[in-house]
Amino acid sequence: MPIRYHFHPAKGWMNDPNGLVWFQGKYHAFFQHNPHASVPGDFAMHWGHAVSEDLVHWEEIPIALSPDTEYDGGGCWSGTAVVKDGLLYVFYTSIGAHDRRQRQAVAVSEDGVHFAKYEGNPVITAPPEDTPDFRDPAVTKIGDTYYMLVASGKDGVGKAQLYCSGDLLKWDYVGVFYADAGLGGIIECPSFTPYGDGFLFMCSGRQDEHGLAATRFLFGDFDGRKFTPRCQSLPEKGPYVYAPQFFQAPDGRVIFIGWFSRWDKPRDEKALWNGCLTIPRELTVKDGKVYSFPVREARHLLADSHPLVHVSKDTVSIESRWPHPLEFRGRVEDVKVLEDDTLLEVFINGGEAVFSLHLD
């Protein structure tokens, strides 16, 4: 039985979602893609592209970006998208064909399908400090200013570097938006957006106590230079979600989509495709916690129980082949399950905790 609700390419490898955006009446999900094989590869990373009108049914359309210049011949890597003056701008990390350096580049589209790379690329040519890690540009607009976060790190401290722009093409360095040694040597795949009376910030990074790469959600304040968290949550308990990204829908919802796989998952090089996306989820903040629950368009897919999910008033445990316990302890008010062939997503207390796993 094929996977029905979790988007995957018809063939080839996929990992991080990129450039999630609403543009010209459709949701767009770009993604890291090797169209030539079901495994990743140097010099092979493209931006795949899918569109949807309801966040459940997706149509794969032609590849948006290919590694075909000197500055991105080593791969078109993760980034984001933003709409300005009726045009769609996508920002990505370009890996040099020969020096393998990480720089930030931009491409523009009038129709959301065909993209022209900016003649002045790369728009950010070097990190503000000496480090090889400088990637995953995340762009958002606040007031009349565009801000870009770039994932970085040095001497074991993960950092999100901050840039600003008025036109999306000329970028000025502002400083360190957020830094935390507890996030490991690099902050990966940041996302940043206004929410309520503050700002949501999300990033992937250091592994947790079970060896899982973790995604952290923070809610706090931004003064134009630095982010100061009020609270921090880890609703995504894993084990198979990494490098998520969020964006604002036309109705103001903050929608999250992640890569439903892991770098350490065994790979079948003979498989037709490898990797998929999570079901889209809405992020909310309540009582100092960030919640992650399927968007309303997908809630008809949820079930109240599953043979592998065991529930009591203070514990939810999930049977799996994962070597560590998949267990939630605390007050259990509600459990919803979404099963899709060999995939299982378990949502506890309206998304206070989420377990996403492969059953095969």
The encoded tokens of residue 307 equal 């043979």
The CATH number that applies at residue 176 is: 2.115.10.20
Domain membership of residue 244 (yes or no) is yes
- The per-residue pLDDT for range 333-352, each reduced to its tens digit, is 999 999 998 899 999 999 99
pLDDT score for 212: 59
- The per-residue pLDDT for range 83-106, each reduced to its tens digit, is 999 999 999 999 999 999 999 999
Residue 1: pLDDT band by 50, 70, 90 thresholds? very low
Domain membership of residue 323 (yes or no) is no
211 pLDDT above the threshold of 70: no
pLDDT score for 70: 96
Nearest to 28 by CA among 217, 215, 255: 255
Residue 62 to residue 178: CA distance in whole angstroms: 36
147 pLDDT above the threshold of 70: yes
Does residue 122 have a cis peptide bond before it, meaning omega lies within 30 degrees of 0? Answer: yes
Looking at the 3D structure of the chain, how many domains does it have? 1
Nearest to 342 by CA among 359, 321, 318, 355: 359
Domain membership of residue 181 (yes or no) is yes
Residue 316 to residue 309: CA distance in whole angstroms: 7
The residue range of the domain holding 215 is 12-299
Model-wide pTM > 0.85: yes
Residue 26 to residue 19: CA distance in whole angstroms: 13
114 pLDDT above the threshold of 60: yes
Q: Average pLDDT of 104-131?
A: 97
319 pLDDT above the threshold of 80: yes
Domain membership of residue 277 (yes or no) is yes
213 pLDDT above the threshold of 70: no
Q: Average pLDDT of 303-325?
A: 93
pLDDT score for 206: 62
- The per-residue pLDDT for range 153-167, each reduced to its tens digit, is 998 899 999 999 999
- The per-residue pLDDT for range 9-54, each reduced to its tens digit, is 999 999 999 999 999 999 999 999 999 999 998 889 999 999 999 9
Residue 352 to residue 360: CA distance in whole angstroms: 26
- Residue 298 DSSP symbol: G
- DSSP sequence for 322-333: -SS-EEEES---
- Kindly report the average pLDDT of the chain as a whole number: 94
Residue 249, classified by CB atoms within 10 Å of its CB into exposed (0-12), middle (13-18) or buried (19+), is middle
Domain membership of residue 234 (yes or no) is yes
Domain membership of residue 53 (yes or no) is yes
Residues with a catalytic annotation lie at 16
Domain membership of residue 319 (yes or no) is no
Domain membership of residue 272 (yes or no) is yes
